[in-house]
A and B are shown apart, each in its own frame.
Chain A
Amino acid sequence: MKRAFLLGLAAVLVALALYPMQATGYGVRTMLQLFMWIALAQSWNLISGLTGYVSFGHVAFFGMGAYSAGILIGKLGWAWPAACLAGGVMAMVLALVIGWPCLRLKGPYFAIAMLGLNEVLRVIVSYYEGLTGGGNGLSLPTLHASVPIYYAMGLVAIAVTALTYLVITSRFGLRLMTIREDEVAAEAMGIDTFRHKLYAFLLSAVGPGIVGGLAARDQGYIEPLSVFPLITTITMIVMALFGGKGTIWGPVLGAVVLFTFQELVWARFIYLHQLLFGAIIVAVVLMMPRGILGVLQQKYNLPRTI
């Protein structure tokens, strides 16, 4: 079973690695977005799926990465791979600054603080026109690099999933789950909950930061509204919930299913698609709050490492 799974996984990875050789530009950019969603949903899972601290502002790290990389590329002439990694670092710095006060808040208060953070960042970016271009946005020099960005996005998606695997199979991961289960008891059992939450938060910020930089480079133009939209946070949350939060493969599954669904339906029914998306959210929350893998896990007593 495990062997078959690993073989299948290897086959998928090889196929994806070869894909750009015969794909259209549209195909490459579509897959690149899928990788982006996997990385985003998986990153959200690291903090919210494991500790239960729901981040409603995770797109803030995406935007931070996009603007950091955009400025480094556009104004300082950095090469995009270095700029995107720097975007990841800047997202972690932001996570440290925000997490330090906000992770002391409990449950819903943290969620609301994160929502506010995203709005504040958007306003700040709009305000400092000299650096960010303000509401006019920031244009990057023209570059045709969809294929390298495809591989870079893919690597980030793999890296974040591998990171999730390492976390969930470690004692650190178990401790993050104790925070979700009962934070008071975790603290009383000698677990430094604040420090654990902060580490998880930092880990969950780096992926969106890098991915934000890559998306900025791919699109060639960013503006506050396009990199800080609430819907991006909601989409990554829904993907993680749909697949199964707190699992390794749930966010990947959720991203693949919902992104494919979106691409298929969106092309045909531009309004109906939002309605259907809303319906999926409601159905998941009501009928299987643990997501697809969560349900399978319980029903067939599967290990946590799925």
Chain B
Amino acid sequence: MPPILEVRGVVKRFGGVAAVNGVSLGLEPGRIYGLIGPNGSGKTTLFNCITGVDQCDEGEIWFKGRRVERLKPHQIFHLGLGRTFQVIRVFPELTALENLLVVTTTDYAAAGRRAQELLALVKLERLAGEFAGNLSYGQQKLVEFIRVLMTDPEMILLDEPAAGVNRTLLNELLDAVRGLRDRGKTVLLVEHDMKVVMGLCETVFVLDHGEKLAEGAPGVIQADERVIEAYFGR
């Protein structure tokens, strides 16, 4: 199957530091991918390049057969590529419901129904009218997660979905991610929790110092000498 997302030789420098240095990835539709690597290995920067938040200095990014590396974030989003953030970025002075409503372009009534469905999915319907800033950390995380689902994007990038989320909530979140995959969506997630990555992802990419160190099934990656070295030292 042709890849839904293809990253070709992407380079992103900040000053003299190449945060991402010639990374190439190919992601097929309907699968869950993981992106791991030590702190500072360029995972979030790569996410930012793919979603247009940062502009890459070199290389190409193709999404659904279109070059997107020079598009604005909102344009990329409307092509069907949504994301969440490592640090929660809900709109604190909008209610949970409004946080969802602002995202869509469909008519208001349909957006409202969709928002209620999604709130019910994560059991937050009671808190729909509450300002997002007043919700707990985990609840904000859920709001951010369902916010990206409002437009039913074909591909979703999740930046550390498990961080700071309790076990019960996490299992629901992971089930939701599998549900997305089962409906043909593609998911790429950055995650530090190895259990989550190994239990969820079908293919894992490993970044180190801005370069792709390895790629493969979780079991293979776990046994890879270079990966172990990058994480734990020699």
Give A residues with C-beta under 8 Å from B. 171, 174-175, 177-178, 180-182, 184-193
Contacts and interface: CB of A to CB of B under 8 A. Distances in A.
Nearest to B130: A301
Interface residues of B, number: 27
B89 to A, nearest CB: 4
25 contacts: A174-B98, A174-B102, A177-B91, A177-B93, A177-B94, A178-B91, A180-B93, A181-B93, A181-B94, A182-B91, A184-B53, A186-B91, A188-B52, A188-B53, A188-B77, A188-B85, A188-B89, A189-B102, A189-B147, A190-B74, A190-B77, A191-B103, A192-B72, A192-B74, A193-B74
Contacts of B83: 188
A187 B74 contact: yes
B92 interface: yes
Contacts of B52: 188
B94 A189 contact: no
Given A188-B53, A190-B151, A182 B74 contact: no
Interface of B: 51-53, 72-74, 77-78, 82-83, 85, 89-94, 98, 101-103, 105, 108, 111, 147-148, 151
A181 B52 CA distance: 20
Nearest to B72: A187
Nearest to B85: A185
Contacts of A177: 91, 93-94
B142 to A, nearest CB: 15
B102 A171 contact: yes
B45 to A, nearest CB: 14
Given A188-B73, A192-B74, A193-B74, 6 more contacts: A181-B91, A181-B94, A187-B73, A188-B74, A189-B77, A190-B78
A237 to B, nearest CB: 20
B102 A175 contact: yes
A62 B92 CA distance: 34
Contacts of B103: 189-191
Contacts of B89: 182, 184-185, 188
Most buried by A among B98, B101, B148: B98
Contacts of A182: 89-91
Contacts of B105: 190
Nearest to A172: B102
Given A171-B108, A174-B102, A191 B93 contact: no
A171 B104 CA distance: 10
Most buried by A among B83, B90, B102: B102
A174 B101 contact: yes
Contacts of B93: 177, 180-181
A178 B85 contact: no
A171 B101 CA distance: 7
A194 to B, nearest CB: 8
A189 B118 CA distance: 16
B27 to A, nearest CB: 19
A180 B93 CA distance: 9
Contacts of B85: 185, 188
Nearest to B83: A188
A248 B92 CA distance: 19
A180 B92 CA distance: 10
A189 B98 CA distance: 13
A187 B54 CA distance: 12
Contacts of B82: 189
Given A171-B102, A171-B108, A174-B102, A191 B74 contact: yes
B113 to A, nearest CB: 15
Contacts of A190: 74, 77-78, 103, 105, 151
